[in-house]
Amino acid sequence: MAMTYDYEHKEPAREAIDTRAGPLLLEFGTAWCGYCRAAQPLIAQAFKAHPDIPHIKIEDGSGRPLGRSFRIKLWPSLIFLRDGQEVARLVRPDNAQDIERALAKIA
């Protein structure tokens, strides 16, 4: 699994995220969010250097438990995890280099 292009409407359980081995990028946002759409080419560029890192895009919104458990306030929010532990977080990233550096931390 590499970069994902579509948001998941059904979010995974927090326990499944916390117990997952290896690297994982969680992206919270929505398809209609302008900030989220603007970040997609940056994320795609960063993934060129780390194509094997799994990426799950979660459609977030009011009352969505996974986003609330990660204290998501703005979109897109990128949560970089290694063995279920948060290693880095980027909110509304504006360059591919920051995303690539965060991916390298979990690779």
Q: How many domains does the chain have?
A: 1
Model pLDDT for residues 84-103, shown as the tens digit of each residue: 999 999 999 999 999 999 99
Within-domain flag for 14? no
Q: What is the pTM of this model?
A: 0.94
Backbone dihedral angles phi then psi of residue 12, each to the nearest 5 degrees = -70, 160
Alpha helices by DSSP H, 1-107: 14-18, 34-47, 65-69, 96-106
Give which of 91, 20, 32 is closest to 56, Cα–Cα. Answer: 20
Round to whole Å and give the CA distance between 89 and 92. 10
Round to whole Å and give the CA distance between 32 and 35. 9
Q: Tell me whether the omega of the peptide bond preceding residue 76 falls within 30 degrees of 0, making it cis.
A: yes
Model pLDDT for residues 24-61, shown as the tens digit of each residue: 999 999 999 999 999 999 999 999 999 999 999 999 99
Within-domain flag for 27? yes
CATH of the domain at 71: 3.40.30.10
